[in-house]
Structure 1
Amino acid sequence: MLPFAQGQLAWPDGPVLFLRARDGAALRQFPLSRLLCEQSFRPDAEELQRAGLETIAEASPADSATRYPLVLVLPPRQREEARALLARAVRLASPGGVVVASMTNNEGARSGEADLKQLAGLAGTLTKFHCRAFWTRPLDEGIDNGLLEKWSALDAPRRIEGERFLSRPGVFAWNRIDPASALLVEHLPADIAGHGADLGAGYGYLSTELLARCPKITALDLYEAEARALELAKANLSESTSTAIREFLWHDVTRGLPKRYDFIVSNPPFHTQSRADRPDIGQRFIGVAAEALKTGGRLWLVANRHLPYEQTLNESFGEVRVAGERDGFKVIAAVKARR
């Protein structure tokens, strides 16, 4: 927001679109009644909503008639996803509109600036607070349309792992089966039964394997904070032949669960979207799982071996054991005891 605060850019009278929006005090300097925030990550979306900002998981597609005189964008770290997002920002800008992007220096700001310059040309750049802001000239001529078409398709869903799963850049372990999740699947017993949940379901690998291996499952709820991943999970589980009822919930697990379960599986996140270590997130997943499980309910969890989860597990469950270890990962099986 600094280029606007310093007068290098003017805040428009018309609508403003903010892609990958996050709330912040700097926004409060400007009229926000016509600001539309797009945020597919549930915790950030809820923060925007609590601030009274209009927030949606996905804005109008780039081929719609809706255009904006100003498009703000916070590109992600993943390069293909970031390039596709910059291309969409350019497509959603009105003729004569401006795209303004910002990234932290340690998450690829220099590369992001070079990408936007290559795509549409730059009118300015500003570096401060270990971040870089960069913006286009008013968009009319100068857009590389060939590059625009190419980059627009970079984060499109595609088949991975021998066509088994649909995935896309930017979601967790997007182009492979995560080795920790694969280890967890190896240790899941076939007698898992009843109504269960997958916490942090991603594109649906764990849930797909659960339904294939455990025929006594009657219902399975998938909780995922990233809407882009949840849509992939819906597509991947639509191919399952299991008769289990499935529900897909765009939800921040750390805020608790609305139901009670016979079993829970999870490969919980242990870092933020910027890759900073946050073992407290995984600890909160464990606490929430304990709250949501019925007495005698089972938790199957996989984690990096070094993560400090044992104390939380021992405080929350009556029985805890390490079911398997490999390549720096550990599978933990826990049973909820009576109080």
Structure 2
Amino acid sequence: MSNVAHAPLKTLTLPFARGELAWPASGKVACLRARAGLELPDGVSPASIAAEQSYFPQMQALRLAGWDVSDTLDGRDGQFDLVLVLSPRQKDEARAVFARALALCAPGGRIVACQHNDEGARSGEADLKALAGLGGSLTKNHCRVFWTLPLGGQHDAALASRWLAAEAPRSIAGGRFTSRPGVFAWDRIDPASALLVEHLPSTLAGIGADLGAGWGYLSAEVLERCAKVTRIDLYEAEGRALALARHNLAAAGERATFHWADVSAGLAGKYDFVVTNPPFHTTNRTGRPELGQSFIKAAADGLRQGGRLLLVANRHLPYEEVLGERFSQIDVLAERDGFKLISAIKAGR
């Protein structure tokens, strides 16, 4: 885990360790964007904290570490005396998380948030101050942890409403799709995916999979352009993106199924083809080419003999070796704007 990712986990609870704040005696604590490895005060069990995490691998890691975790805390407004926030990088998303934390707080409750300096900590502190006032802040580990005074109606309700609206799902691409801030390529057609679609073989047939499906663009194009495709299974680790994909492909009916899953753990079926624009960085933008390599391995394991992989990626990414180990007939179909589109056939026995 990079320092940018790990440092906030060491810093979020610093005010409690230093005696600046007291942990609620009620034990009614929530954590938004929780991640395994968060350092808790002595005597505090992770099972006592209601954690929210919509990214499947991190949700699994939290469960293994004993946290009480779900993909959403919607419906639990006003229940918590402390809401911890590991702020995301994207500004509209981060502001909406603050507004949701505010709604989760009981009267007299408090928000405590942390962000790495390289991820916009100073801006995040200013945002929380504008929303609900600031009770204090500390800096350590290249991070800033900041908190509100006990909340008792002094917040800016109109600002909270605007921030929630700014992060809400909205139409993009001329109204054809719905997306929202915080998911990958949320406000546009990603150019790598567009390159794949431009060279999508109309002869694709049978059952396929879209690995790292995001809000559903590639799958929608496959179903529209390839009449012989009977079904496509969308695999996506980010639950917020998968919910958008369900909406965007609602008209496909049984031709589309949806899997909230970690692709690197394997696929649920066997497929005639796979399309993918795999991630190559983590949620905090740390470069991780092994993520894409794990997608290639999963595709190889999930394809039937003679099945086809269509992979689009940044030109510099080191995928050729793992492709060569698992596939035959590897061809670069197109290159543009720093991207490469690769076709690979799973070798027969």
Q: Which TM-score tier does this pair reach, normalised by the shorter chain?
A: over 0.9
TM-score normalised by the chain length of structure 2: 0.93
Give the structure with the larger helix fraction. Answer: 2
- C-alpha distance in structure 2 between counterparts of 1:292 and 1:27, whole Å: 40
User: 2:10 aligns to what?
Assistant: none
User: Does residue 164 of the first structure (1) align with residue 176 of the second (2)?
Assistant: yes
The secondary structure found in structure 2 opposite 1:289 is helix
Choose from 4, 29, 32 the match for 1:16: 29
Q: Which runs of 5+ in 2 are unaligned?
A: 1-12
User: 2:341 aligns to what?
Assistant: 331
User: 1:258 aligns to what?
Assistant: 268
Letter in 1 for 2:124: G
- C-alpha distance in structure 2 between counterparts of 1:66 and 1:221, whole Å: 38
Q: How far off is 1:33 after superposition? A: 3.7
Choose from 270, 287, 304 the match for 1:294: 304
Q: How far off is 1:141 after superposition? A: 3.8
User: Does residue 180 of the first structure (1) align with residue 192 of the second (2)?
Assistant: yes
Deviations 1:79-108 (A, max 9, x none): 001001101101110110000000111011
User: Does residue 31 of the first structure (1) align with residue 27 of the second (2)?
Assistant: no
Letter in 2 for 1:174: W
Choose from 193, 210, 225 the match for 2:237: 225
- C-alpha distance in structure 1 between counterparts of 2:154 and 2:111, whole Å: 13
The secondary structure found in structure 2 opposite 1:101 is strand
Cα RMSD between the aligned structures? 1.3
Write the mapping of 1:1-339 to structure 2, written as runs, cut at 5 A. 1-14=13-26, 15-24=28-37, 26-27=39-40, 29=42, 30-61=44-75, 65-240=77-252, 245-339=255-349
Q: How far off is 1:60 after superposition? A: 2.1
Distance 1:337 1:32, change over 3 A: closer
TM-score normalised by the chain length of structure 1: 0.96
Q: Check conservation: 1:220, 1:244, Cα contact below 8 A.
A: no
The secondary structure found in structure 2 opposite 1:175 is coil
- C-alpha distance in structure 1 between counterparts of 2:77 and 2:194, whole Å: 44
Q: Check conservation: 2:47, 2:66, Cα contact below 8 A.
A: no
Deviating 4+ runs (over 6 angstroms): none
- C-alpha distance in structure 1 between counterparts of 2:258 and 2:334, whole Å: 29
The secondary structure found in structure 2 opposite 1:27 is coil
- C-alpha distance in structure 2 between counterparts of 1:88 and 1:107, whole Å: 20
Deviations 1:34-83 (A, max 9, x none): 3111000001100000111111001124xx55420000011110000100
- C-alpha distance in structure 1 between counterparts of 2:112 and 2:169, whole Å: 26
Distance 1:321 1:154, change over 3 A: same
Identity %: 57
Query: After alignment, is 28-37 or 131-140 more displaced?
Result: 28-37
Q: Check conservation: 1:211, 1:244, Cα contact below 8 A.
A: no
Q: How far off is 1:221 after superposition? A: 0.5
Instruction: Give the length in aligned residue pairs.
Output: 335
